Amino acid sequence: MSDKHLLKSRLCLCLIILAHLLHAMAEEPALQTRGENEKQSDETLLQSDETLEHHQRVKRGWVWNQFFVLEEYTGSEPLYVGKLHSDMDRGDGSIKYILSGEGAGTMFTIDDNTGDIHAIQRLDREVKAQYILRAQALQRRTGMPLEPESEFIVKIQDINDNEPQFLDGPYTASVPEMSVIGTSVLQLTATDADDPTYGNSARVVYSILHGQPYFSVEPRTGIIRVTLPNMDREAKEHYEVIIQAKDMGGQLGGLAGTTTVNITLSDVNDNPPKFAQKLYQMSVPESSPVGSIVGRVRAKDLDEGINAEMRYTIIDGDGRDTFDISTDPTNQVGIITIRKPLDFEGKKSYTLKVEGANTQLDHRFLRMGPFSDVTIIHISVEDVDEPPQFDSKFYYVEVPEDVEIGTVFQTVSAKDLDVSNNSVRYSIERNSDPGRYFYIDITSGALMTARPLDREEVSWHNITVMAMEMNNPTQIGSVSVTVKVIDVNDNPPELEKYYEAFVCENTKAGQLIQTVTAVDLDDPLGGQHFYYSLAPEAANNPNFTLRDNQDNTAWIVTRRGGFSQQQWSIYYLPILISDGEQPVHSSTSTLTIRVCSCDTEGNVMSCTAEAYTLPVSLSRGALIAILACIFVLLVMILLILSLRSQRKKPYLTDAEENVHENIVRYDDEGGGEQDTEAFDIAAMWNPRESQVVKFRQDMVSEIESLSRYVPQNYMGDSNVHGYVLAKLYEADVDPCAPPYDSLQTYAYEGEGSVADSLSSLQSVTTNTDHDYDYLSDWGPRFKKLSDMYGVSEMDNALW
């Protein structure tokens, strides 16, 4: 049975040798040359052997060739590789063959009797393509080598046992959409581990299994190309292509490998932008500040990336100067913002014509344009309750400092521009006028003085006037009013400082002893100009005279000489100084002149006169009399002050001093029909007749003083405010004024007032009684009045 397998193996080996004869012939000359060399070497050894063994020459010959073995043998018996044979082998078993080298004993074995070589393991050419072995023939009995060791090669013959492989798969690639036919996408390369120099085992051919008709692959190069024109990314973006690589030239029986190629169409700008609507409606409150966002519009572009970048512009419309549009780069949206302040009362709606266009154009696809679109945006302005607006952004007023209290110097005007056109009430922001110099009429906006102005104290006033809507007190507008106080000549000139001059005892007549200079708090437009002279009582002063230099200075000059400290040590010289403005103001200042002793050069040595005393002595009785007079004087002063305070203090009965909730009588009211003792309101309109009108006794002096204070030319129909302001100012500056005001005024009643008229003169007179039931709803403070005038449930039951 073993011989049968051995014969079969040898036949297979012969077939392989014949089938690869051309391949083996390329290596035969080298083998023959090597065989000849080995043969010569063997002959030399044989000659030596012949000498040793009876000097007989024996020809030695190897029967072998280069061995070829098929890989991947799967038989159950060892694979026959070849046979080693020596010419000295007579077949009697006296020669022993041994094998060494790569794989000897593990991969290959040799029959030491016959020299047959077998492969005992499966061989793989892709792991190792050849093995180098060494063979030797030994004398079995002695173990001596009969021949030198020789090398031979066992080559592993390739079979098609490896399919082509795509080592880098799966693959991803991209190609621009709308590419023309034949555009290259990607080149694939498959590797085959089989021997490329032997047969067609490693000859690979490519084909496409999935992905047609969009793509194709070149059989030999593996280049994938576009086969369908005008592929649109917006229709289909991703494609899966399966490529097969088959060896044996693609013939039947060849092995094949596949891979997947994911192809993505990259975007090009082939789609124009389009607005979703041709008309957009938006609204914005008129109070929105400049820069506020009104709304957003978007022109949709099916492209992506830079091909979808947009630029929005306002190309027409009546609102192109009032609104702006910009592009949000994150989402390519057009943002409409306010460029100028809005006013519902001025314009209620705007129309914009907006264009959205691509910024990046592809000239290959301009035929698919235009790459822009236009839409109309209608913006409605919503009315908002806005604060009143003044007719000027600011006011500048010049007011003389001698203006009378209550004089109107400026009238501001504000208006509610809303459709409701509510009434406006004016006031002064008190933090802007801490000195309370000004007052404003609540309805007319007339600004007037409430205190005397003094430029030398405060020359500028910056006040804030506020205008409030009657029906919505939260809506308040404001404006700045700058008041410049104009100078008037209301301050007399005075000496610049306190002057103290000296004159030497040896001074001669006409000697200059002092130069004086004056100052004036006023600031006339033409500058200061002062006039100097001696006071009338000193006009004929025999000792000194004054010389006006006409440059706002004056000289004091002696009229005589021979001054003496013993005779008169100090002189007082009154100087009259007047200014050159109208009305002329003047003042008298006193110059102190001391008589001093001087040296020959005029330097002061001493200004002190000799001391002298008066022989005056007071007795103890005189001192006691003086102290007693002083004490009596103090007692009289305290008594006068006490009587004055008692005279002004109102006398109250015990019942009146017991103040509880039972007070129902008011004796300090005015203007009512039951108050017959109150002063007549006519006195306020015609103060000249106040002397002949009957007044309440405690009011006469106050009315008279007030009539004298207020100028008569200000007592017209519009000067009640000035009259009241003058009275209030007089009370503020009067340290002896009582802590209460007996003057009652109702200047803020009547038409246009929140409380309407409070006078009973205009009440509707009917035969029926008034209904005072509402007093019960005003709380516990009005319970007494409610009980007195309201109708109780018992009364209802009686009637």
Q: At what angle do helices 700-709 and 720-733 cross, to 10 degrees?
A: 110
pLDDT mean over 361-372: 85
Position 55 confidence tier, pLDDT thresholds 50, 70, 90 = very low
pLDDT at 188 over 50: yes
Query: Which one is predicted more confidently, 678 or 634?
Result: 634
**Where do we find the tokens 């173990």?**
143
Output phi, psi for 761, to 5 deg: -70, -30
Q: Please, what's the b/e burial string for 256-288 (b: 16 or more CB within 10 A of its CB; e: otherwise)? A: bbbbbbebebebbbbbbbebeeeebebebebbb
CA distances from 565 to 505, 542, 574, 593, 595 (A): 7, 17, 21, 12, 6
Q: Which residue has the tokens 């994150």?
A: 330
Please tell me the distance from the alpha carbon of residue 774 to that of residue 788, in angstroms, as a whole number: 13
Q: Which residue shows structure tokens 């050419």?
A: 125
Gyration radius from the chain CA atoms: 66
Tokens standing for residue 427? 């006031």
Annotate 310-368 with three-state secondary structure: EEEEEEECCCCCCEEEEEECCCCEEEEEECCCCCCCCCCEEEEEEEEEECCCCHHHHHH
Work out the pLDDT band at 289, boundaries 50, 70, 90.
very high
Cis check for the bond before 272: say yes or no (omega within 30 of 0): no
Q: List Cα–Cα distances, 457 to 170, 402, 487, 494, 582, in angstroms.
A: 94, 13, 11, 18, 21
Tell me the per-residue pLDDT of 685-708, one tens digit each, with 9 for 90 and over.
444 444 433 444 444 343 343 334
| DSSP reduced 3-state for 687 | helix
| Residue 449, φ and ψ in degrees, nearest 5 | -80, 140
Would you state the structure tokens that stand for residue 201, as one six-digit string? 């085992």
Tell me the backbone φ, ψ of residue 470, rounded to 5 degrees. -65, -40
Q: Which residues pair with 104 in a beta bridge?
A: 108
Helices (H) and strands (E) in the chain, counts: 10, 41
Pair 492, 585: CB distance under 8 Å:
yes
Task: Indicate the burial class of 29 (C-beta count within 10 angstroms; 0-12, 13-18, 19 or more).
Answer: exposed
Average pLDDT of the chain, as a whole number: 77
- C-alpha of 448 from chain center: 44
pTM for the predicted model, two decimal places: 0.47
Tell me what the mean pLDDT of segment 320-336 comes to.
Answer: 93
Q: Residue 499's closest CA among 563, 577, 562, 568?
A: 577
pLDDT of residue 617: 52
Report how far apart, in Å, the C-alpha atoms of 702 and of each of 59, 672, 705 are. 172, 20, 5
Residue in the block written with tokens 């949709």: 300
Percent of the chain with pLDDT over 70: 75
518 contacts 577 by C-beta, under 8 angstroms: yes
Integer CA distances (angstroms), 177 to 268, 359, 362, 779, in order: 7, 20, 13, 86
- For residue 782, the model assigns a pLDDT of 76
Q: Which range is least confidently modeled, 480-484, 564-568, 694-698? A: 694-698
The model's pLDDT over 616-627, given as tens digits with 9 standing for 90+, comes to 455 677 788 888
Give me the pLDDT at residue 440, please. 93
Distance CA 320, CA 231 (A): 42
Asked whether the predicted pLDDT for residue 227 surpasses 90, the reply is yes
Cα–Cα distance between 712 and 665 in angstroms, integer? 37
Find the helix or strand (DSSP H, E) in which 707 lies: helix 700-709
pLDDT over 90 (residue 183): yes
* pLDDT, tens digit, 9 for 90 and up, residues 247-261: 888 888 788 999 999
Is the pLDDT at 12 greater than 70, yes or no? no
Beta-strand pair 108-110/116-119: antiparallel
Cis peptide before 219 (omega within 30 of 0): no
Which pLDDT belongs to residue 9? 47
Model confidence over 441-450: pLDDT tens digits? 999 999 999 9
Place of tokens 């000697």: 511
Q: How confident is the model at residue 283, as a pLDDT?
A: 94
Strand positions, DSSP E, 754-794: none
Q: What is the distance between the terminal CA atoms of the chain, rounded to a whole angstrom?
A: 151
The order of strands in the sheet holding 215-217 is 184-187, 223-226, 215-217
